[in-house]
Structures are given as C-alpha cells and as structure tokens.
Amino acid sequence: MNFLAHLYLADRQPDALLGSLMGDFVKGPLEGRFSAELTRALAQHRKVDAFTDAHPIVRASRGRVAPARRRFAGILVDVFYDHFLALHWEDYADEPLEAFTREVYALLRTREAILPERLRLIAPRMAQLDWLGSYRRVEAVHVALDRMGERLKRGNALLGAGEELTANYAGLEADFRAFFPEVVRFAEDLGSSS
C-alpha cells in the first residue's frame, strides 16, 4: 500500500494518521522511540504491508507488470492501488477526498517537528502539489513514478513505468476492487485487537 491507502486505513486520530504515513520512513525497532499511538500506527503500517505483499490478488497485480519492470512491481502496484482508491474514494469514504487530504496536509504542517527527516523534506511539496489527491489522474501517476525513479542509484528504471497502469488498467482496477475490502477488514481487525 502507498501513502493514501495507509492513511485511509488508519484511525482518524492525529498520531494514528501520522504514524501510518511515517511507516515508510521509519526503520528498525519501534519501542521507546515514539508515543504509544505512533508506535501502534507504525506497527499497523508494517503489518498491512506484510499482509498486502503476501496476498494472492496483489501478487497477481504484480504479475501484470512487464518482465522488464517486474523488479519494481511492488512499488508500481502500491501507487496504482492509490490511484484506484483516489478515483473511487466516494465508494469507500463518507468524507470527500479533498477534505481528507487538507486535514492530512495541515497535520503534517502542525506536527512537522516529529516527522522523520525525509518526510519533513517532502511534506511541503506533497501538500503544495496535492500528491494524495492527484493520484486520481493517470497522468499524475506517470509523473509520480518518474519522480520516484529519479531517486534510484542506477538510473531511472521507473521512467515511463506509468505505462504499466495504462496497459493493464482494467485488470489492475479489478484486482484493487477485490483486494481493498480485504485489507480494510484486516486493518479493522488489527484495530479491534489492540
């Protein structure tokens, strides 16, 4: 799952939202480093990622990616699923996507001091360019993947990888629609057991 999906799956408390977003930026043991709520959200993020990575529907989505890009299929599918979540947001949430993303961006501004360094650096740009809301548009997915690839050490292997979404759109969308209710139930079960 990528940024938008992790945020959607989080409890609507500030630390839970922050922790769900920080999950991709915090490595190593969690105990004693953060508040109890942040630690719980970071742990949930890791469990959701493990559930997602092992799920047969997600594996099928990764299999749709051309062999030349298969090494990055996990990244691609995460971003593609965020596209479908943003596109179909009203099917899953009562609150408009624009209101939700405004809340997240405001939270990132007000709690900037506790963000991991890399997230602190990208948060202003994330808000300014509305990364989360922009995922609705296929063109924005292309740009996001090209931008992500610029950080790779051996050249931009993600350049043009948005073509994978376009080429496999119907299948990926069907995969997302089948998978997303399952990950929602998984996250709800995590929340009820903590």
DSSP of 55-118, one letter per residue? -HHHHHHHHTS-GGGGGGHHHHHHHHHHHHHHHTHHHH-SS-HHHHHHHHHHHHHHTGGGS-HH
Give me the domain span that covers residue 127. 3-193
Give CA–CA dist 189/171, Å, rounded: 28
DSSP for 114-174 reads GS-HHHHHHHHHHHHTTHHHHTTSHHHHHHHHHHHHTT-TTS-TTTTTTHHHHHTHHHHHH
Residue 155 has pLDDT above 70, yes or no: no
Confidence of residue 171 (pLDDT cuts 50, 70, 90): very high
User: Is the model's pLDDT at 191 over the cut of 80?
Assistant: no
In this structure, the dihedral spanned by the alpha carbons of residues 127, 165, 82 and 161, taken in order and rounded to 10 degrees, is -50
Location of structure tokens 């399952």: 182
Q: What is the mean pLDDT of residues 80-94?
A: 97
Alpha-carbon distances of 68 from 54, 72, 123, 138, 160, rounded to whole Å = 22, 9, 31, 21, 12
And the tokens for 70?
A: 């298969």
pLDDT of residue 174: 98
Average pLDDT along the chain: 91
Residue 32 pLDDT: 81
Q: Is the pLDDT of residue 149 over 80?
A: no
Choice between 161 and 63, residue whose per-residue pLDDT is larger: 63
Query: What's residue 194's pLDDT?
Result: 57
Q: How confident is the model at residue 157 (pLDDT cuts 50, 70, 90)?
A: low
Name the burial class of residue 9, with classes exposed (0-12), middle (13-18) and buried (19+) by CB atoms within 10 angstroms of its CB. buried
In the predicted model, is pLDDT for residue 152 greater than 70? no
Q: Taking the model in full, what pTM does it have?
A: 0.92
Task: Collect all residues with Cβ–Cβ distance below 8 Å to 159 and sequence separation of at least 6.
Answer: 146, 149
Chain centre distance of CA 121? 18
Higher confidence at residue 157 or residue 78?
A: 78
Instruction: Please tell me which residue, 33 or 81, carries the higher pLDDT value.
Output: 81
Confidence of residue 144 (pLDDT cuts 50, 70, 90): confident
Measured CA to CA, the distance from residue 118 to residue 124 in angstroms comes to: 11
Average pLDDT of the residues in 67-91: 94
| Mean pLDDT value of segment 43-63 | 96
Rounded average pLDDT over 35-51: 93
Number of domains in the chain: 1
Q: pLDDT tens, 12-39?
A: 999 999 999 999 899 988 888 888 999 9
